[in-house]
């Protein structure tokens, strides 16, 4: 994001005025969760020029925030849950939810998200390499989506941003993030690390780039 500011001719900052605050939050968080520069260059460097001028209206930012929340709940989290046979039903439930693109949909998602988190937490209790497994969820953008989903709440003067913030809370954005990490822990404990964690991470990284594409494509009606 500092490079975005430089490209836009703005003062040095990782919060460039020209960039959408929602997508910026996603990119900052994802960048911080990646553990090597090669991955950052491969995944995020091509995105940087596209963020210049991506700031839009509060309504557009809100819709982008919902896209991030929806991805966290219906794409990212189920991918990790599905690695454990004991959590596969929760994965199917989250994938089958209606798109989480409104306050009502977020509230409806809250209970199954929290149920998935509770089950994943219990399954992860026996994990012997939790930190390493959780690191895979970090690299795949679970934290980034949570941060993007709440970023609209920080947009000054954005009345709709509060709705997005409350929606993230109602839908259990923090629980979904933690469920993703806990499910990774459980999968590692079950011996699935080598066979599944890396492919799942790579799949979700590609999906996260598609999410950025979708957020950038949102325009005013």
pLDDT in tens, the chain (221 residues): 666 667 666 677 677 878 888 888 888 888 877 778 888 889 888 988 898 888 888 889 889 988 988 888 898 888 877 877 778 898 899 999 999 888 788 888 888 888 887 887 776 654 434 434 445 554 555 555 555 555 443 433 333 344 444 455 555 566 666 677 777 666 665 555 555 677 888 888 899 899 999 999 998 87
Report the Cα–Cα distance between both ends of the chain, in Å, rounded. 27
Say what the pTM is: 0.76
Output the pLDDT for position 175.
64
Output the pLDDT for position 106.
82
Alpha carbon separation from 122 to 3, 85, 163 (Å, rounded): 42, 14, 31
Query: Is 34 inside any structural domain?
Result: no
Residues 184 and 170: their CA atoms lie apart, in Å, by 24
Output the pLDDT for position 156.
31
Per the structure, how many domains does the chain have?
Answer: 1
Query: Is 105 inside any structural domain?
Result: yes
CB 35 within 8 A of CB 135: yes
List the domain range (segments joined by +) for residue 73. 57-217
CB 180 within 8 A of CB 82: no
Query: Is 140 inside any structural domain?
Result: yes
CB 66 within 8 A of CB 102: yes
Query: Is 39 inside any structural domain?
Result: no
The answer for residues whose C-beta is within 8 angstroms of residue 122's C-beta and 6 or more apart is none
Residues 79 and 64: their CA atoms lie apart, in Å, by 21
Query: Is 30 inside any structural domain?
Result: no
């Amino acid at each position: 994001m500092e490079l975005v500011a430089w490209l836009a001719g703005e003062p040095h900052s990782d919060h460039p005025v020209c960039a959408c605050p929602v997508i910026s939050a996603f990119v900052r968080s994802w960048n911080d969760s990646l553990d090597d520069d090669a991955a950052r260059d491969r995944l995020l460097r091509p995105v940087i020029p596209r963020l210049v001028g991506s700031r839009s209206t509060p309504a557009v930012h809100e819709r982008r925030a919902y896209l991030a929340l929806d991805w966290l709940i219906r794409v990212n989290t189920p991918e990790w849950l599905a690695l454990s046979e004991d959590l596969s039903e929760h994965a199917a439930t989250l994938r089958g939810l209606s798109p989480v693109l409104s306050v009502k949909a977020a509230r409806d998602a809250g209970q199954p998200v929290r149920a998935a988190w509770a089950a994943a937490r219990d399954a992860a209790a026996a994990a012997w390499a939790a930190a390493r497994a959780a690191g895979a969820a970090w690299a795949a953008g679970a934290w980034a989506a949570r941060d993007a989903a709440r970023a609209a709440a920080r947009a000054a003067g954005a009345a709709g941003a509060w709705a997005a913030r409350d929606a993230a809370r109602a839908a259990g954005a923090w629980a979904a993030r933690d469920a993703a990490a806990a499910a990774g822990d459980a999968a590692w404990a079950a011996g699935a690390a080598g066979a599944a964690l890396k492919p799942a991470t790579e799949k979700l990284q590609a999906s996260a780039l598609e999410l950025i594409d979708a957020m950038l494509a949102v325009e005013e009606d």
